[in-house]
Amino acid sequence: MPHTLNSPDKMKGFWFLLALVAVAKAEKSFTGDQVIRVDVQSEEQLKLLQILESEGKWNLDFWLHPVSTELPVDVLVPHTHLTAVKEYLQAHNIPFTVMIDNLQELLDQEKAEMKENHLRERSTRSFNFGAYHRLETIYSWMDTFVAQHSNLVTKLDIGRSYENRPMYVLKFSTGGTKRPAIWIDLGIHSREWVSQATGVWTANKIATDYGTDASLTSLLNTMDIYMLIVANPDGYVVTHTNNRMWRKTRSKNSGYACLGVDPNRNWNAGFGGPGASSYPCSESYHGPSAHSEIEVKNMVNLIQSHGNFKSFISVHSYSQLLMYPYGYTCRGAPHQAELVRNVALK
């Protein structure tokens, strides 16, 4: 016999529960939020911005981090803190300009373009490599892709995410075991959609060009390529459902309501150094310890068990930078001159 809500108190509780569910599932709005570009002119100003980032004050989201007086700093500022932030910068004579007046307008445009691309894709029944896809679509494409190129590509399940989603690596190999290999991960910051899309496009390019492109063919005849297209699957799902700007993992932080760790700052390489925050609500929170995040640990386990990776590449979006080791110290990497010269020639 079905249960009925036959009392005012039960009805109130029922509607309250529905309201909580609706709030939990509501998509975060960025109406009125602005992105400002700060022109850092002194080491003192740089230090002030670094303190703001590490302390997590005003819920600022740094898109370009304060690392040098020679580079600008781009910051997403919630509309609730715009006045306070601008007054703070003016009080310290730090010049700034507004780059994006209302972030939500850009996100609405992006959503409309995605809807149009989805309709076009359904009508043509072909995979659109120029569009942003949800996680389930990318994973479904992987299965089709591997089946089409089974002589070259295999799909490896390297473990589960915090929310129990699979993490898949595409392995490109012409044979042999534990050959010298190249590692490529994409989307470790989940909101950087162009990185995951780049991974899908690049994987297809590798498979279709093998045998016709001399350089690529020579490379794959001697080395393997391991590609993790969605390195932060939980965060990626959130960016498509609840919060377009979600960047971190989804793990719980003891004593705090805010979730997640910046997985790019969770590695045991200069852990907790410059550019990382110890404040759990910061977008750059490094986590309670190195490799605390299961997503990072899954990658580490594969890389260490393989033992013969010769190159490690992590693809991000924004700022148009080609970065090389080290990110946590000014000390030069081994063979740095050769590295820079070869990159410049390419």
Are the CB atoms for 232 and 294 separated by under 8 Å?
Answer: no
Q: 305 and 162, same structural domain?
A: yes
Q: SS3 sequence, 118-134? A: HHHHHHHCCCCCCCCCC
Q: 39 and 183, same structural domain?
A: no
Q: 87 and 136, same structural domain?
A: no
Q: 309 and 165, same structural domain?
A: yes
Within-domain flag for 65: yes
- The radius of gyration of the chain from alpha carbons, rounded to an integer in Å, stands at 23
- Looking at 105, 121, 147, the residue that finishes a domain is 105
Q: 269 and 142, same structural domain?
A: yes
SS3 at position 291: coil
Of all residues in the chain, what percent are helix, strand and coil, respectively (each to 5)?
A: 40, 15, 45
Q: 222 and 143, same structural domain?
A: yes
Crossing angle for the helix pair 193-209 and 135-148, to the nearest 10 degrees: 10
CATH code where residue 140 lies? 3.40.630.10
- Please state whether beta strands 181-186 and 224-228 pair in parallel, antiparallel, or not at all (unpaired): parallel
Q: 99 and 163, same structural domain?
A: no
CATH code where residue 68 lies? 3.30.70.340
Q: Supply the pLDDT for residue 17.
A: 55
Within-domain flag for 294: yes
pLDDT tens string 180-224: 999 999 999 999 999 999 999 999 999 999 999 999 999 999 999
Distance from C-alpha of 336 to C-alpha of 346, rounded to nearest angstrom: 16
Q: 139 and 82, same structural domain?
A: no
Are the CB atoms for 299 and 307 separated by under 8 Å?
Answer: no
Q: 154 and 69, same structural domain?
A: no
Within-domain flag for 338: no
The residues, ordered by sequence, that sit 6+ positions from 68 with a Cβ below 8 Å of its Cβ are 40, 46
* Cross-strand pairs, 189: none
Within-domain flag for 333: no
Q: 286 and 141, same structural domain?
A: yes
Are the CB atoms for 213 and 342 separated by under 8 Å?
Answer: no
Within-domain flag for 15: no
Domain enclosing residue 198, as ranges: 132-326
Encoding tokens for residue 313? Answer: 């590449």
Within-domain flag for 47: yes
pLDDT in tens, the chain (346 residues): 444 555 556 555 555 555 454 445 679 999 999 999 999 999 999 999 999 998 888 999 999 999 899 999 999 999 999 999 999 999 999 999 999 999 999 999 999 998 888 887 776 678 999 899 999 999 999 999 999 999 999 999 999 999 999 999 999 999 988 899 999 999 999 999 999 999 999 999 999 999 999 999 999 999 999 999 999 999 999 999 999 999 999 999 999 999 999 999 999 999 998 888 999 999 999 999 999 999 999 999 999 999 999 999 999 998 788 888 877 777 888 888 888 888 777 6
Phi, psi (rounded to 5 degrees) for 62: -80, 115
Q: 57 and 189, same structural domain?
A: no
Within-domain flag for 24: no
Distance from C-alpha of 344 to C-alpha of 325, rounded to nearest angstrom: 15
Q: Supply the pLDDT for residue 195.
A: 97
Within-domain flag for 293: yes
Q: 158 and 272, same structural domain?
A: yes
Are the CB atoms for 248 and 259 separated by under 8 Å?
Answer: yes
pLDDT tens string 275-327: 889 999 999 999 999 999 999 999 999 999 999 999 999 999 987 888 888 77
Total domain count, the chain: 2
